[in-house]
Amino acid sequence: NAGVTQTPKFRVLKTGQSMTLLCAQDMNHEYMYWYRQDPGMGLRLIHYSVGEGTTAKGEVPDGYNVSRLKKQNFLLGLESAAPSQTSVYFCASSPPGQGGLSGANVLTFGAGSRLTVL
């Protein structure tokens, strides 16, 4: 099993450009998440989805949009990239948990996408 696959692994953008990060999971998980990881900070939740066709805002949603058209895919879009969005982005998935989030369930993460915005 591939688990959670993210593409691309690396990308360099200029300020104002747009791009989409792709995430695919083959574990039939209901819930999917997008996190960003920055030096000296814990993982921060950007957006998440509890099922096909549904999305919700996390802790730091501004400047990002998401879509979950198929259960196995979760897309993260940057409409107009800013240097503050330079980060490593992780997609994760989990079975359904309490409170509409993963709760006590284990997250399975993708390998990450390193984005640099100049």
Partner 1 sequence: GQNIDQPTEMTATEGAIVQINCTYQTSGFNGLFWYQQHAGEAPTFLSYNVLDGLEEKGRFSSFLSRSKGYSYLLLKELQMKDSASYLCAGVDSNYQLIWGAGTKLIIKP
In the complex, what is the shortest distance from the CB of residue 73 to partner 1, in angstroms, rounded to a whole number? 18
Could you give phi then psi for residue 85, rounded to 5 degrees?
-95, 5
In the complex, what is the shortest distance from the CB of residue 107 to partner 1, in angstroms, rounded to a whole number? 7
3-state helix, strand, coil in the chain (%, to 5): 5, 45, 50
Place of tokens 């897309």: 75
Range 41-100, binding partner 1 (CB under 8 A):
41-45, 90, 97-100
76, 78, 79, 84 alpha-carbon torsion, rounded to 10°: 160
**Binding-residue pattern over the window 24 to 43 for partner 1, x denoting contact by CB under 8 A:** ----------------xxxx
Structure token digits, residue 117: 């915005």
In the complex, what is the shortest distance from the CB of residue 85 to partner 1, in angstroms, rounded to a whole number? 19
Instruction: Considering the complex, state which of residue 69 and residue 106 has its C-beta at the smaller distance from partner 1.
Output: 106
Q: Is 2 in the site for partner 1 (CB under 8 A)?
A: no
Instruction: Considering the complex, state which of residue 14 and residue 39 has its C-beta at the smaller distance from partner 1.
Output: 39
d(CA 46, CA 97): 18
Residues that bind partner 1 (CB under 8 A): 4, 40-45, 90, 97-104, 106-112
